Amino acid sequence: MIRIPSLLVVACGLLIAFCASSGAARAATHSVYHGGTYFGSVIVEPGQVVDGDLNVVGGDADIFGEVNGNVNVAGGNINIHDGGAIDGQEHEFGGDVAGSMLPWANSDRYGDRGYNGDFRVLWRIAWDVVVLVCFLIFPLRTRMAVDRLEHHPGIATAAGLFGWVAVIPLALLLAVTVILAPLILVEAVLLTAGLFIGTAALALLIGRRFYELLSPRSTPSPLVALMLGLALVTAAQLVPVVGVIVTMLVWLVGLGAAILTFIPSTPSAGPGAPPTYPGISGPPMPVG
């Protein structure tokens, strides 16, 4: 049986590794005078002769001198400059090679700025952390959004589309009234909260379905399902072109599900009767 917590550790480890390897290529550059394994970018100075294999992890190898051995680079590039020579084989994984498959892991975009370049992975991780916090603060609202997604996915999509279309006209209407202009900030806060709650609901649903696909006889806890779903959604969002489409769908459907949590899903039993809501399906929640 596949253990999902192990999958989560591996997925988070891969995300951190991609983030670290993408920014560390030029964060620390030092000269080398003999073979061995080095972390960070290295440089073989002009006229310098390095005997033995040169292994570089998480950086580039700039060869101005001569290397009497193999040069192996993981997470960077091998750059042979004028006057440089390698008397052996060259192996590299990362840099331009990884960038062609995983553009967010391309170290070249950072230049000499270290970690001050593209923060897409870090922003995604930060977003996921906020989504997780919102789930812990509003578990019932998130579970209601999950229920709406399961039973009314089409209506959730339509509600999300209506919500996004109405954002700007509503803000303009509030601005025109002048007195109600401060409510624009309230609108922005509600929109942001709806995005976080909707993302949490969609990720929880995806994570639970994926868990049950791998282990049909067990049901994950809400936290495990959410973390697994966030890992899957984040990985999809980091893929070029496809990631943009995934993000748009998540924001569209997620916002719609959050909006539907404020609308009764079934009609009232009669005039004056309080609205009734269906039972919230999904993974069990502990009752305090």
- Do the beta carbons of residue 106 and residue 24 sit within 8 Å? no
For 124-132, which contacts have Cβ atoms below 8 Å and span 24 or more sequence positions? 124/234, 124/237, 124/238, 125/15, 125/19, 125/234, 127/199, 128/230, 128/234, 130/196, 131/196, 131/199, 131/200, 131/203, 131/226, 131/230, 132/200, 132/226, 132/227, 132/230
Whole-number pLDDT of residue 56: 86
pTM of the complete model: 0.55
Whole-number pLDDT of residue 191: 92
- Do the beta carbons of residue 99 and residue 108 sit within 8 Å? yes
Whole-number pLDDT of residue 205: 93
Whole-number pLDDT of residue 181: 85
Whole-number pLDDT of residue 254: 93
Tokens 């923060």 label which residue?
Answer: 119
Mean pLDDT, the chain cut into blocks of 10 residues (288 residues total)? 43 46 50 85 90 86 92 86 90 59 43 46 88 93 92 92 92 86 90 93 93 85 91 88 90 93 64 45 45
Q: What CA–CA distances, in Å, run from 268 to 44, 188, 260, 271?
A: 77, 31, 16, 7
- Residues of 200-233 as b/e, b for ≥16 C-beta within 10 angstroms? bbbbbbbbbebbeeeeeeeebebebbbbbbbbbb
